[in-house]
Amino acid sequence: MSSPLFSGLIPPLLTPRSADGTLDLGSLERLINHLIEGGSHGIFALGSSSEVLYLTNAEREKVLRTCVETIAGRVPLIVGVNDMTTARVIDEAQRLLAIGGDAIVVTSQFYAVDNTFEEDRHFRAIADAVDVPVFAYDVPVRTKQKLPLGLLVQLAKDGVIAGVKDSSGDDVAFRQLALATADIEGFAAFTGHEVVCDGALLSGAAGLVPGLGNVDPAGYRRLFDAAQAGDWESARQEQDRLAKLFDIVFVQTPSVSGGAAGLGAFKTALQIMGVIESNTMSQPMETLGSEEAERIRAILASTGLL
Amino acid sequence: MSSPLFSGLIPPLLTPRSADGTLDLGSLERLINHLIEGGSHGIFALGSSSEVLYLTNAEREKVLRTCVETIAGRVPLIVGVNDMTTARVIDEAQRLLAIGGDAIVVTSQFYAVDNTFEEDRHFRAIADAVDVPVFAYDVPVRTKQKLPLGLLVQLAKDGVIAGVKDSSGDDVAFRQLALATADIEGFAAFTGHEVVCDGALLSGAAGLVPGLGNVDPAGYRRLFDAAQAGDWESARQEQDRLAKLFDIVFVQTPSVSGGAAGLGAFKTALQIMGVIESNTMSQPMETLGSEEAERIRAILASTGLL
Amino acid sequence: MSSPLFSGLIPPLLTPRSADGTLDLGSLERLINHLIEGGSHGIFALGSSSEVLYLTNAEREKVLRTCVETIAGRVPLIVGVNDMTTARVIDEAQRLLAIGGDAIVVTSQFYAVDNTFEEDRHFRAIADAVDVPVFAYDVPVRTKQKLPLGLLVQLAKDGVIAGVKDSSGDDVAFRQLALATADIEGFAAFTGHEVVCDGALLSGAAGLVPGLGNVDPAGYRRLFDAAQAGDWESARQEQDRLAKLFDIVFVQTPSVSGGAAGLGAFKTALQIMGVIESNTMSQPMETLGSEEAERIRAILASTGLL
Amino acid sequence: MSSPLFSGLIPPLLTPRSADGTLDLGSLERLINHLIEGGSHGIFALGSSSEVLYLTNAEREKVLRTCVETIAGRVPLIVGVNDMTTARVIDEAQRLLAIGGDAIVVTSQFYAVDNTFEEDRHFRAIADAVDVPVFAYDVPVRTKQKLPLGLLVQLAKDGVIAGVKDSSGDDVAFRQLALATADIEGFAAFTGHEVVCDGALLSGAAGLVPGLGNVDPAGYRRLFDAAQAGDWESARQEQDRLAKLFDIVFVQTPSVSGGAAGLGAFKTALQIMGVIESNTMSQPMETLGSEEAERIRAILASTGLL
């Protein structure tokens, strides 16, 4: 297999807020350092885990600026560009890349009623408009459409995309993508799924982008290193421990949405661990309360993080 | 029934582009006049029919400014505010209302993985942040979630929303909404469906927001007036003619997406009728070609528009 | 418009059970008479409203036999044939038609991963195998696929189907179907939606198949007659009253499924009205309790049925 | 981990038909022997791969009788019981188990509009009604609903189900299921996905039920044995080869449905390999033609099967 531009553990960075709801850039700085010191090979900013869809443009810029300054070149910085159609994505990409970033991550169009022809033109127009590598972000739980395997492979072969961040939950298509792109120089398939990273690496993943990696970057780094060394039994055991840690996302009360449950749990864990100051969520998401925090604390303890 | 703030025919304005893809504000001006002269009771700008999701922020502002100047107070101007979450919608609403507008239309969140509690807070926060009436826009084909009947009724009772623009295709829920809100002073349920306006009015709709109304506003005005007069047989006949006219949206070749087919057909019809100069669509949508234009011309002729 | 083979009010018959869960054929007989005396133009047996999917083959036969004997030729009997693929539907159709029936109603395949080509062959093979008219039953809430408009129109033109029973909730497609088949001799489009029958008749429906028609056949008959007479204001008022009666389907507690809520409410209403003895549902559906019965009783009273 | 009742390679048996469409029991017999000689640990009859949904009851019985006689106790026989609701499944299970079978496999209800409470009662009632172990078959591509993780774990803990056959494509939920049931004596999680068996085994799968196992049982047996021995590199290489073989399911022309493409490809491969006489599909599915057969032959050759 060829060597991709980016590989290894690249957690999708959360966006801490103070209790009053404003951005907490001090906590963000500490979180970035937590990730780098935990062994991350890169940082993915302004992905779904950052609550990017809830951030105003001004907030997105502040977050990115803090990333650029805090990372200070220690690891690559990949930037999520989140908007619904081609021209708007290009606008946003240019605005953000003026601040910094080594690559961008872009979804299919959403809110649009489009087809594969439009998606093809979408990615090609974006790649033409920027000077950094473009990753396709396949996240049907949000966009409500899976990027077709054939389209991804063609875009990869044509050098339009440098990789895929797969959060589709479709491990069959992921294996097929990894196989079909194995010979494409520099191409990388990343998985965004926290509890099957060992299987994804066995399938040929170049790297991991787990939201839970905010909480335990060192664990995911050990998992990645074991897999690289061919020690699948250790990789599996680390994954099983991390899968138990992932149970923190299921502690929420019914009024908390699916979107708020996972990110809220990650924030609450990091608050308990002393990395960030508050677990406050972006409006209109609900912030987890003290009862949920107790249950998360217990899971952190039982999986070795406290 | 009480009298709503807005009622009657309020077409969702298209956004003409020149053949080179730039906004064609001259054609936009002519189209606005075509709608007002055709008997429209109001104009809905920056809805899905305007390709709003494909417009950059700068383009949205230019379109709205042209609307304000061209309408010049002759009829009310309702403004679509299109973004994915609460804070971003508020940002966008304030930016656009600084230019003009008598009410705003807002969808549920999208790209979010939310729940009814979040949706409730979403609409309340937006209504708190603006000084004009807020309409909920129910368009599950784009947002991928239907706004729950119970939520809409509660928001209506609490005065949070002044009405609903229904493009859900769920006529059962529409009837239930109309019945449940019949006694709420000023509340208005609008249908966005071109071919069942007579039935929607029978169900209690206060008005019509048909994309096809760009092509034949006078027809929809006659339909509305007949229904108001209790002459349902004439309303039905006008609706049947308009349903045949609506066949223009089905002439596209397979490479044209669902989103581009309808709006492309409306633009092509208006180009043939001499109202706008080009039927060019926003990137990355495909513009209809000459073969499709011929078929559209035939339908225009057979339904009395040429 | 041509005259269809079947038209008017054709309620989809419920299947009463005794408190011990066995079929209650005495109540079934009374219910059939209630429908005919209420002015029904026909009876649709073994549709979804009969809980057909929960009936064993032996139970389906008993129900149909009771229908044949009780109706005794007073009105036409249309029979639902409910199975997942072509050969199984043909088997079931022949088994049931040996007992009786003037037409059959058949859905698309379900549980299958099929396409329009297969659906086309499905309906043609079934029509070839039986001697009675075949109606297509479009019920995507169960089959998880809408029958395409183009397929239905082609099957209608080729004389394969004599009509459509539409429970798709897509009033736009229903209007288009009615328009496209208006000139086909004998073809009938029926709506299965309880609260928009007036609009469906305005759209060109030949008849009504409302589950709620089990509870108030006389009301739906008045609605139909008013529409036939062009008295749309009376039709609308009757429809609004029936829409309020339809609120009985929303009284259930959260443990009751969507499928059990509607049919359970109809059964409970008929039990309160003295038409059937028990509101017991088929296994594993939950039967509505006394609290729900009280709420249903209040709605029956407020809409003039008690 | 505890030792499950059934484990290893248990292919879901295809149902050969002669060119005239009738069952070809001679080919079925040869196919069963092909599977056992290829190292299968068991046979799963009347699953989706058998086209069970397209088989009449008489055909289902003939297929099962041939299985019982041909297997003759050499390996366990697991029987799919395919119907839409509880009472119908019980009827079918008792009819089939009178012929033979060591366990049954049952899906959620389908065509029903049910909820988790009904599903819970569904599986419990079925388990009460039969004397053999019950496996839950999670196949949302057909049933249109994923069996909830919490329900499966509770049914496992209560001894209602002896395992799950997972064809959900949700590897995250599969890992969570395997983790949550790891300590339940005798419980087995099987994967039905052809191209990620190595990852599933790493996640804790007890066995494999790959449709492609009809074509190359020996390959899947080698994969399973390598994983059992902890030789994940060999397992991965075997899986990669089998994933390339799986490309035979993508050779179909557009008129072939998704359901017919996969099974049609398996049948065509087995015809080319001389195991069965014809690749004829059940009505109304389309049978693959000679052009597709040539492409399949090439893939068989390149993956070492010719």
Residue D36 lies in a domain: yes
Query: Chain C contacts of D115, Cβ < 8 Å?
Result: 255-258
Q: How confident is the model at residue D108 (pLDDT cuts 50, 70, 90)?
A: very high
| Least CB–CB distance from A203: residue in D175, D176, D199 | D199
Distance (Å) from the alpha carbon of D45 to chain A's nearest alpha carbon:
24
Cα distance between residue B12 and residue B33, in whole Å: 13
Query: Is omega for the bond preceding B284 within 30 degrees of 0, making it cis?
Result: yes
Domain for residue D208, yes or no? Answer: yes
Measured between beta carbons, the chain C residues lying within 8 angstroms of D84 are 53, 84, 111
Assess whether pLDDT exceeds 60 at residue C87.
yes
Percent of chain B with pLDDT over 70: 99
Q: What is the pLDDT of residues C21-45, one digit of tens each?
A: 999 999 999 999 999 999 999 999 9
Helix pair angle (A25-37, A217-228), 10° resolution: 30
Among B141, B171, B244, the strongest candidate for a mutation testing the C interface, having the largest count of C CBs within 10 A, is B171
Q: How far is C171 from chain B (nearest CA, A)?
A: 6
Q: Which residues pair with A191 in a beta bridge?
A: A166, A208
Q: How far is CA B66 from CA A118, B26, B69, B75, C30, in A?
A: 29, 9, 5, 14, 67
State the count of interchain CB pairs (< 8 A) between C and D: 126
> Would you say A195 and A161 are in contact if contact means Cβ atoms under 8 Å apart?
no
Q: How many CB atoms lie within 10 A of CB C183?
A: 10
B48 contacts B13 by C-beta, under 8 angstroms: no
- Can you give the pLDDT at residue C1? 42
Average pLDDT over residues C129-135: 98
pLDDT at B59: 98
Cβ <8 Å between C193 and B172: yes
Asked if C284 and D86 come within 8 Å (Cβ–Cβ), the reply is yes
In percent, the amount of chain B with pLDDT more than 90 equals: 96
CA trace torsion A60, A63, A65, A69 (10° rounding): -160
Nearest to B91 among A56, A86, A88 (CB): A56
The CA-atom distances, in angstroms, between B248 and each of A186, B167, B218, B235, B299 are: 46, 19, 18, 21, 7
Strands (E) in chain B, as ranges, are 8-9, 43-45, 77-81, 103-107, 134-138, 163-166, 188-191, 207-208
- Read off the pTM: 0.96
Is there a contact between B134 and B103 (Cβ–Cβ < 8 Å)?
yes
* pLDDT for res B3: 62
Distance of CA C230 to the CA centre of its chain: 25
- Chain C residues within 8 A (CB-CB) of chain B? 169-172, 175-176, 179, 193-196, 198-200, 202-203, 230, 232-233, 236, 239-240, 243-244
Q: Is the dihedral of CA B50, B53, B59, B60 positive or negative?
A: positive
Minimum-distance CB partner of C233 among B171, B230, B233: B230
Mean pLDDT taken over chain D? 96
Among C176, C196, C230, whose Cβ lies nearest the Cβ of B171? Answer: C196
Segment B210-220, tens digit of pLDDT:
999 999 999 99
Closest-CA residue of chain B to C229: B233
A202 with D171: Cβ contact below 8 A: no
Interface pTM, i.e. ipTM: 0.97
User: Residue D148: pLDDT band by 50, 70, 90 thresholds?
Assistant: very high
Q: What is the pLDDT of residue D25?
A: 98
B and D in touch (3+ CB pairs within 8 angstroms) = no
Q: How many domains does chain D have?
A: 1
pLDDT tens for residues B25-76? 999 999 999 999 999 999 999 999 999 999 999 999 999 999 999 999 999 9
Q: Can you give the pLDDT at residue C5? A: 75
Span D135-147, pLDDT tens digits: 999 999 999 999 9
**Residue whose structure tokens are 């473009």:** A134
pLDDT bin (cut points 50, 70, 90) of residue A3 is: low
Q: What is the pLDDT of residue C3?
A: 62
Task: Name C77's Cβ contacts closer than 8 Å, sequence gap at least 6.
Answer: C42, C43, C45, C67, C68, C71, C100, C101, C102
3-state secondary structure (DSSP) of residue D145: coil
- Name chain C contacts of D287, Cβ cutoff 8 Å: none
- Cβ separation of B195 and C202 shorter than 8 Å? no
Please list every residue in chain C whose beta carbon sits closer than 8 Å to the beta carbon of residue B193: 171-172
Q: Which chains touch A (3 or more CB pairs under 8 A)?
A: B, D
Calculate how close chain B gets to A264, using CA atoms only, in Å: 13
Contacting chains of D (3 CB pairs or more, <8 Å) are A, C
Report chain C's mean pLDDT, rounded to a whole number: 96
Average pLDDT over residues A221-240: 97
Residue A300 domain-assigned? no
Percent of chain C topping pLDDT 90: 96
Residues from chain D contacting residue A231 (CB–CB below 8 Å): none
Give pLDDT, residue B1: 43
Q: What is the pLDDT of residue B40?
A: 98
Res. A190 pLDDT band, cuts 50 70 90: very high
Q: DSSP 3-state assignment of A28? A: helix
Confidence of residue D2 (pLDDT cuts 50, 70, 90): very low
Please name the helix (run of DSSP H) or strand (run of DSSP E) that holds residue A189, with its range, or none: strand A188-191
Handedness of CA B237, B238, B241, B242 (dihedral sign): negative
Confirm if B269 and B228 have CB atoms less than 8 A apart: no
Chain B residue numbers with beta carbons less than 8 Å from the beta carbon of A256 are 115
Decide if D117 is inside a domain. Answer: yes
Query: Can you read off the two tokens belonging to residue A306?
Result: 């406290």
Chains that touch C (3 or more CB pairs under 8 A): B, D
Shortest Cα distance, chain C CAs vs residue B199, angstroms: 4
In a domain, D261, yes or no: no
Q: Which residues of B touch A85 (CB under 8 A)?
A: 53-54, 282, 284
A239 to chain D: nearest residue by CA?
A: D203
Checking if the pLDDT of A4 tops 90, the result is no
Average pLDDT, whole number, for chain A? 96
Answer whether residue D167 shows pLDDT above 70.
yes
pLDDT in tens, B181-203: 999 999 999 999 999 999 999 99
Q: What pLDDT is stored for residue B2 in this prediction?
A: 47
Q: Looking at beta carbons, which pairs linking D16-21 to residues 24 or more positions away fall under 8 Å?
A: D16/D267, D16/D270, D16/D276, D16/D277, D16/D278, D16/D280, D17/D278, D17/D280, D17/D281, D17/D282, D18/D277, D18/D278, D18/D280, D19/D277, D19/D278, D19/D280, D20/D280, D21/D280, D21/D282, D21/D283
- Give the residue from chain D lying closest to A171, CA to CA: D171
Which stretches of chain D sit within 8 Å of chain C by CB? 53-57, 82, 84-88, 91, 109-115, 117-119, 121-122, 125, 141-144, 255-260, 282-286
Rounded distance between C-alpha atoms, residue A208 and residue A220, angstroms: 8
CA distance D20 to chain C (A): 15
What pLDDT is stored for residue A90 in this prediction? 98
- In this predicted structure, the answer to whether residue C298 has a pLDDT above a threshold of 60 is yes
For the cut 60, the answer to whether the pLDDT of residue A2 exceeds it is: no
pLDDT at position A253: 86
Element (H, E) at C140: helix C140-143
A vs B: CB pairs below 8 A: 128
Is a pLDDT exceeding 80 seen at residue D1?
A: no
Average pLDDT over residues D126-134: 98
- For residues B260 and A119, the answer to whether their CB atoms sit within 8 Å is no
**Subunits that touch chain B (at least 3 Cβ pairs < 8 angstroms)?**
A, C
- pLDDT higher than threshold 80 for residue B116: yes
pLDDT of residue D286: 97
Contact A54 B85 (CB under 8 A): yes
Domain extent at residue B79: 8-229
Residues of chain B with C-beta less than 8 angstroms from the C-beta of A116: none
Tell me how close the Cα of A50 comes to any Cα of chain D, in angstroms. Answer: 22
- Residue A98's CB: how many other CB atoms inside 10 A? 10
pLDDT digits (tens, 9 = 90+) for C170-192: 999 999 999 999 999 999 999 99
Token output for C266: 């109809």
Q: What is the mean pLDDT of residues A261-285?
A: 98
pLDDT for the residue numbered C2: 47
Residue in chain A nearest B263 by alpha carbon: A113
Whether residue B171 and residue C171 make contact (CB cut-off 8 A), yes or no, is yes
Task: Select the residue from A146, A212, A232 to test the D interface by mutation, using most D Cβ atoms within 10 A.
Answer: A232
**Best residue in A85, A86, A124, A281 for a mutation probing chain B (most B CBs within 10 Å):** A85
What CATH number does residue B188 fall under?
Answer: 3.20.20.70
Is position D267 within any domain?
no
Element (H, E) at B61: helix B57-71
